[in-house]
Amino acid sequence: MKLKRLASAAAAAGLLLSASALASSTRVINRRVEKTDANAAQALRAAGLTAEQVDAVVAALAGTFDWRKARPGDQFRAVLKDGVLVNFDYRQSAADEWQVHREGDRLVGQKRKLEIEKRTEAVELRVESSLYESALASGEDPTIALMLSEVFAWDIDFYQDVRNGDVVRAVVEKELVGGRLLRYGEVLAADYRGQAVGHKRVFRFAPTGGAASYFQEDGDSARRAFLKSPLKFAQVTSGFGARFHPVLRYVKDHNGVDYAAAVGTPVWAIGDGTVVKAGYDGAAGKHVCLRHLNQLETCYLHLSRFGAGVRVGARVQQKQVIAFTGTTGRSTGPHLHFALKRAGRFLNPLKQASPRAEPLTRGQLPRFKQEVERLSELMDGVTVAARH
Ligand SMILES: [Zn+2]
């Protein structure tokens, strides 16, 4: 009798146990760090974690994640079982995610290892309203427009020369995570057919023992001593200002070209050189002058500020951002005044043909031609067309 009662009590207890097992609660918290949160720890507290749990998560990721780099928009997810924190994810971007999980009575944290897939793909942009819009329209990230502007910087001024109806094709390396673009690698080949610029076609190639650079189909260099424009293409945002194009004008009596450009447009050195002036005066405003080979000198006027490391005597490289446009000095509106001199005499920069860099040597040509063939097939879709 006594035994029986015990047994049924045990059964009842068992029932109770399994009932409580059924009732065990899993709680999932999904939240973002908001602008109103003083820091990530506060966001975690506001999401319902206890001070102890927050400390445990912070400790688990110590040395792996720098909590000072947490920012509004970061997302986190916490999973609690019966009030015990078992999993925690903190995500800043597709490439930056940290995970914490429970191992017995402690939490262990790590940065999530990503499966990065590398692909080489052909891309085509048809210019309709702006390069930014055309990049979006073809399912690409707008940074591709900036990359292409750098590849063609010796021949195409992406502010002035782009017209509706122009077609740009490229073969570009991509890094993807879960099928989504993480970042672009190098542009391996690019082709521009434009109303104002005609046909330009370049290929990336590393000569034996040399650095990779861009060459035209016949092995001539794509590079020139000077870039086509002193303004670096930097049209990265959509909406207001996305269709803003600097207006260019050569004004004879003041010896330079005026580029109307929004304040803050990056100005780059059109060629390798040495800074010979970096200062301010009443007429030129904030200005920089560079000395190049062959007694050539370029000057950039009415700037808002200088680029990093720009001071008299400093060496600068072609494509280095040396300043940002402004409207300082005698200036009626935001613009860059750009001047070119040879041996102290002003020249019209728009009328100078800048010499190309060295072509490929004969010995490099067979390997280059093979590369051109391979990339052209990808870029022009020849193989695709042949199969259909
Ligand atoms: Zn001017």
Q: How far is the CA of 357 from the centre of ligand 1 (A)?
A: 30
Average pLDDT over residues 3-32: 60
145: CA distance to ligand 1 center in Å?
A: 28
For residue 339, the CA-to-ligand 1 centroid distance in Å is: 8
> Which of 22-26, 109-113, 214-218 shows the lowest per-residue confidence on average (mean pLDDT)?
22-26
Output the CA 330–ligand 1 centroid distance in Å: 9
Please tell me the distance between residue 258's alpha carbon and the centre of ligand 1 in angstroms: 5
Q: What is the pLDDT of residue 16?
A: 46
**Ligand 1 geometric centre to CA of 156 (Å):** 22
- Cα–Cα distances (Å) from 281 to 15, 87, 234, 314, in that order, read 89, 62, 28, 20
Reference 62, options 98, 114, 105; nearest CA is 98
Q: Give the confidence band of 22 by pLDDT, cuts at 50, 70, 90.
A: low
Residue 11 pLDDT class (50, 70, 90 cuts)? very low
How remote is the CA of residue 384 from the centroid of ligand 1, in Å? 50
φ and ψ of 249, to 5 deg: -155, 130
- Listing DSSP states for 369-380 in one string gives HHHHHHHHHHHH
Asked if 33 contacts 47 with a C-beta cutoff of 8 angstroms, the reply is: no
AA letter at 140 = E
Please give the distance, rounded to the nearest whole angstrom, from the Cα atom of residue 291 to the centre of ligand 1. 20
The tens digit of pLDDT for each residue in 197-247 reads 999 999 999 999 999 999 999 999 999 999 999 999 986 544 333 344 556
Residue with tokens 């610029």: 197
Q: For residue 382, which amino acid is it?
A: V
- Is residue 193 predicted with pLDDT exceeding 60? yes
Q: Which residues contact 93 (CB under 8 A, 6 or more apart)?
A: none
Measured in Å, residue 253 CA sits from the centre of ligand 1 at 9
pLDDT tens digits along 33-70: 998 888 899 999 999 999 999 999 999 999 899 998 99
Task: Say how many C-beta atoms besides its own lie within 10 A of residue 21's C-beta.
Answer: 9
Alpha carbon of 323 to ligand 1 centroid (Å): 16
pLDDT (tens digit, 9 = 90+) per residue, 251-308? Answer: 666 788 999 888 999 999 999 999 999 999 999 999 999 999 999 999 999 999 999 9
Q: How far is the CA of 287 from the centre of ligand 1 (A)?
A: 12
Residue 99 above 60 pLDDT?
yes
- CA atoms of 382 and 243, how far apart (whole Å): 34
Q: 46 alpha carbon to ligand 1 midpoint, in Å?
A: 56
**Residue 344 DSSP label:** T
Q: Report d(CA 110, CA 60) in Å as an integer.
A: 8
Whether 231 contacts 265, CB under 8 Å: yes
- Cα 256 to Cα 75, 250, 348, 349: the distances in Å are 51, 6, 7, 8
CA of 354 to the centre of ligand 1 (A): 22
CB 67 within 8 A of CB 59: no
CA of 231 from ligand 1 middle (Å) equals: 15
Distance CA 335, CA 257 (A): 10
**Ligand 1 mean position, distance from CA 326 (Å):** 12
Confidence class for position 115, pLDDT limits 50, 70, 90: confident
Distance of CA 337 from the midpoint of ligand 1 (Å):
4
